[in-house]
Structure 1
Amino acid sequence: MILTFSDANVKAALKAIESEVATTSEKIEMLIEIATRLQGQAKTIEQIKDSIFLYRKGMELNTHNESLLKARCLSGIGTALRSIPDQEENLLLEAKNSYEEALPILEKYASSLEIAETQMNLGIVLQGLVEFNKATIQEAIQIYYKATKIFTGENYPQEFAILQNNIAVAYLSLPLGPNKKKIRYGVVVQSFQSALKWVTITNHPSEYAMLQNNLANTLQYLPTSHPIENNLKALKAYDEALKVRTASDTPLEYANTIANKANVLFNLPDNIEHPEMGNTNNLERCRKYCEEAYAIFTHHKQVKQSCVVDSMLQDIQKKLLNY
């Protein structure tokens, strides 16, 4: 890892630990505090790597092997590593190892809040490793549920919302037999609705939009004898998400949501009382959403999403020609 120490905070941290006034423990705590702040405000990968350097510097100074300080450095390294974009599993595996080494120590010496935060972060890493066959979705779900014992909706609505969203997404990818699909979707919908009891558009708009969008996605594919009713509920949930997600402020999230909404409109009758009359109006709305989403995805070089939306535009055109 090449470090330039261009960030003023890093230079200040390195200078601070040279002080003869501070004790070794105080120096390590100082490094952890600066690394955490730098990591939280990082705008570049280099700044994240600099925070990792500071955490590791803290571990080097910890010659007396103070357990809690070591665990906090390890947890910080894990969080920094998982925030670095990577197409492979190496950084996630390194983050997993850091969290798993830190957790037993934290469980012995740290506050319940610190433990739950590390559990939640480990769950995110495990969920990311599933596609590489380096973890199971059951492991991720199990650790998420441990974190919910502390991160309750009443006391920590934001963290609770993230956990419930992650649990729901995890359940959707859980391999189950056909006879258990209804149970799976029931758990998923319940997770989203449970989180939305505590998260509002005013207090936590980002999490609110995420939950509404993902709830709508689930409602689209919910096994039911009332698909139109569920699709109408999905449209309302997408509209709630779009109160937060805008083309100017969150273009990619906005594009994802309108593309999802278009998918509902594709098969939704214009008049639900008379479905035989077709859905040309909804198809036109569908096309407008897809054209807008395609433009945004293309502009941001999101090739996969652009291709999906382009394919949908072709399907819309074919369907309209049949009317």
Structure 2
Amino acid sequence: MLKRQPMSIGVFPGTAGFFLLPPIENADTFMPSLLQGFLPEPCPKEWQFFLSAIEGEPVERVNELLPDTKEGHFNRFILFPEKRNYKKAESMLDGDLKLLLDAVAWRLNFKQDPPHFQDDTADEIKAFILATHAYDAFQKRDWTKGIQLLEGAAQTVKEISPIFSARLLSEAAATKQSLGFIDQRLIDLYKTALTLTERSKFEDMRAELTFQLGTAYQELADGNKTYYLEAIKCYNKALKVYRKENAPENYAIIHMNLALSYLAMPPNEYNYHLKNAMAIQSLREALRYLDQEKHTELWCSATINLANALQYAKSSHIEDNLWEAVALYEDVLKVRKKETDPHGYARLIANQGTALSHLGAFSSAVPKLTEAKQIFEELRDEESKKVVEDMLLEIKKKKEELSKQ
């Protein structure tokens, strides 16, 4: 028997998340698992185009499999957003599906304004339209309204399409975070989205949400040890999915954040050296998979943080650590120039000078520190200037003590 139009709008990533599924016999028996990301096996022949899109086949192949129905013409407009395809789909659709077409058309710049739903509009389409109005609000820089609309859309489909709801919540949370709205509400959004994905097939989605939750904890921490520990827990969980073999860039970025959480965590007499050692381990791992040219800023950040951590690592090879730190700073100085980033350059040579002074290489340390002091003075960074002045004064005292021996 035929039931209402099966809806997987917003569930799958990419093009497939926009596709309409034609009604088939007993579709309602497939829908609960389909809405968690599991395709029926075998896949009904009427849905072969959908399977083809999910598996990443060329759009030409997906197009070949589209049926000559209203759903097929809607989906053809998604694949090839051209005026003639829009007009053909428009001539075949009415009611909820016409609203959905107009919402998609707005997203593809075919309509000036997004449509408005009716009281009896299906919840999945209602949520899609609410999300469209959210993106319209973002274009108008009304961030608060946009976030509220996304959260409202997520609530609309929370019971019937949990993955669609989770994707909407994830967008709302990511937007909040990018705008610097870091609070407990942000944590709750990510947690709710994660809960909604628990039974789904989308392992990568859960890993991404877990990583983002970790960054939210890390940004909110501000010295709170519990939040840093929660961030570390999230990063370690995400690393079970983002492995060096299948996602080297994500793997490296997570290790970077893991290291920064360890370094920022308030120390005590028991954990100071352990957390420093853990940070060094993660930074070394990140640098194995960061390309200096492709990920220049990330590579610089990881290299500098590793050098800084090595300076203060408790080890039986303190001198080796310090020389490695000096060499790492030198590597970054080949990329980070005084002309383009005077502040970053000054911090680099100040750190390098400090490491050299710890090695007793005063003749090399003093010129570095003196140059850093001059740049900080020019930039009116009195705090950094004072730190360098204190180091220069300490070197002067050490040299005087040595001359008396």
Q: TM-score, normalised to structure 2's length?
A: 0.60
2:297 aligned partner, one-letter code: S
Question: How far off its partner does 1:221 sit?
Answer: 0.2
Structural mapping, 1:193-204, within 5 Å = 193-204=284-295
Aligned partners of 1:248 and 1:53: how far apart in 2?
42
Tell me: CA distance 1:245–1:69, structure 2 relative to 1, closer, same or farther (3 Å).
farther
Aligned partners of 2:298 and 2:279: how far apart in 1?
16
Structural mapping, 1:84-163, within 5 Å = 84-85=179-180, 91-109=182-200, 111-131=202-222, 133=224, 135-163=226-254
Larger displacement relative to structure 2 (280-289 or 129-138): 129-138
The answer (yes or no) to whether the contact 2:153–2:168 under 8 Å persists in 1 is no
Structure 2 counterpart SS, 1:98: helix
Tell me: CA distance 1:110–1:311, structure 2 relative to 1, closer, same or farther (3 Å).
same
The match for 1:27 is: 129
Tell me: CA distance 1:74–1:151, structure 2 relative to 1, closer, same or farther (3 Å).
same
Structural mapping, 1:1-323, within 5 Å = 15-18=112-115, 23-28=125-130, 30=132, 47=141, 50-61=142-153, 63-65=156-158, 66-85=161-180, 91-109=182-200, 111-131=202-222, 133=224, 135-174=226-265, 178=269, 181-270=272-361, 279-296=362-379, 298=380, 306-317=382-393, 319-320=395-396, 323=400
2:150 aligned partner, one-letter code: G
1:225 aligned partner, one-letter code: S
Higher radius of gyration, 1 or 2: 2
Larger displacement relative to structure 2 (131-140 or 188-197): 131-140
Question: How far off its partner does 1:143 sit?
Answer: 0.8
Aligned partners of 1:106 and 1:13: how far apart in 2?
33
Tell me: CA distance 1:253–1:123, structure 2 relative to 1, closer, same or farther (3 Å).
farther
Question: How far off its partner does 1:212 sit?
Answer: 0.5
Question: How far off its partner does 1:220 sit?
Answer: 0.3
Aligned partners of 2:344 and 2:323: how far apart in 1?
21
Larger displacement relative to structure 2 (310-319 or 140-149): 310-319
Question: How far off its partner does 1:132 sit?
Answer: 6.2
Tell me: CA distance 1:132–1:283, structure 2 relative to 1, closer, same or farther (3 Å).
closer
Aligned partners of 2:192 and 2:219: how far apart in 1?
18
Question: How far off its partner does 1:218 sit?
Answer: 0.6
Structure 2 counterpart SS, 1:202: coil
Report Cα offsets for 1:106-142 as digits up to 9, x if no partner: 3334622222222111111212333364943221111
Report Cα offsets for 1:16-60 as digits up to 9, x if no partner: 42268x943543564677789x7xxxxxxx94xx34532432343
RMSD: 3.6
The match for 1:275 is: none
Aligned partners of 1:293 and 1:107: how far apart in 2?
51
Larger displacement relative to structure 2 (130-139 or 172-181): 172-181
Tell me: CA distance 1:180–1:135, structure 2 relative to 1, closer, same or farther (3 Å).
closer
Aligned partners of 1:315 and 1:29: how far apart in 2?
56
| Identity rate, percent | 23
Tell me: CA distance 1:176–1:64, structure 2 relative to 1, closer, same or farther (3 Å).
closer
Aligned partners of 2:144 and 2:202: how far apart in 1?
23
The match for 1:273 is: none
1:105 aligned partner, one-letter code: L
The match for 2:69 is: none
2:369 aligned partner, one-letter code: C
Question: How far off its partner does 1:205 sit?
Answer: 1.5
Structure 2 counterpart SS, 1:308: helix
The count of corresponding residues between Structure 1 and Structure 2 is 285
Tell me: CA distance 1:73–1:51, structure 2 relative to 1, closer, same or farther (3 Å).
farther
2:246 aligned partner, one-letter code: N
Question: How far off its partner does 1:104 sit?
Answer: 0.8
Q: Which runs of 5 or more residues in structure 2 are unaligned?
A: 1-105, 401-405
Aligned partners of 2:223 and 2:276: how far apart in 1?
25
2:173 aligned partner, one-letter code: G
Structure 2 counterpart SS, 1:71: helix
Q: TM-score, normalised to structure 1's length?
A: 0.73
Report Cα offsets for 1:250-269 as digits up to 9, x if no partner: 55544433332232233332
More helix, by proportion: 1
Structure 2 counterpart SS, 1:284: helix
Tell me: CA distance 1:122–1:53, structure 2 relative to 1, closer, same or farther (3 Å).
same
Question: How far off its partner does 1:182 sit?
Answer: 4.5
Report Cα offsets for 1:52-105 as digits up to 9, x if no partner: 53243234346344433332232222222233347xxxx322211211121111
Question: How far off its partner does 1:13 sit?
Answer: 11
